[in-house]
Homo-oligomer: A and B are copies of this chain.
């Protein structure tokens, strides 16, 4: 199985880059399944049904989110109707939407996508480790499930690495989001799980994590209310990770970073 995961789409420039590059990405990588993190797709804050639809139309199969999931409040009313759009699994019981979604390819292979929030330096939520144990119960990688992708949305590198090792051998890919900067530590862990601490954003890297620099610097330096944060509008770098799994086991045979366009050094599987 060939899997493509792209990090937090940031605003118009991020969406446009992903929409433009998706046919080529999906084609050249012969990707069977594509996941993107969409928590910043709508002007940097949340996502709408309309934006989700525009991503499905170009070949995105699933959309994960994170702490910004409800920034566009309308989503609380519509997320249950969209089986491809996830919110973090360790939100309180009763939260709209689901944190785990099961997908079936035309050839019958089943793919599970799970989205969890980390907790270190973030809003208090229930334990993502215990949550993942529950979400994975009964899912046998390589038998009843062809591939499992887990988006760990978090701040601290330590927590993401701990989650990677905790899931090693049980899922196909553990990939971090939220920091908006791609990390260069893609590797296959000891028991076969592909891992990357952060996919990086699909956005303009002439910015402060995708937002215009002046307003963002003002916040750090002046400590007075300044302009609203708005997305930087330069050309986006599409950032993510490509994983090829062994269909017999669901584990990773290959993992490689993806970086296309914009200011960052390009990366593509050999």
Contacts and interface: CB of A to CB of B under 8 A. Distances in A.
Contact of A184 (B95, B130, B182, B220): B182
Q: Main SS of chain A's interface residues?
A: loop
Given A93-B130, A127-B221, A161-B209, 10 more contacts: A126-B127, A126-B130, A129-B220, A158-B180, A166-B220, A166-B221, A181-B197, A184-B267, A187-B205, A256-B265
Contacts of A183: 181-184, 198
Question: Of residues A91, A162, A185, which shows the largest number of chain B Cβ atoms within 10 Å of its Cβ?
Answer: A185
B130 A124 contact: no
A161 B225 contact: no
Contacts of A151: none
A208 interface: yes
A209 B93 contact: no
A77 to B, nearest CB: 11
A20 interface: no
Interface residues of A, number: 65
A155 interface: yes
A165 B208 contact: yes
A184 B70 contact: no
A208 B161 contact: yes
Nearest to A166: B217
Nearest to A128: B220
Question: Of residues A159, A162, A259, which shows the largest number of chain B Cβ atoms within 10 Å of its Cβ?
Answer: A162
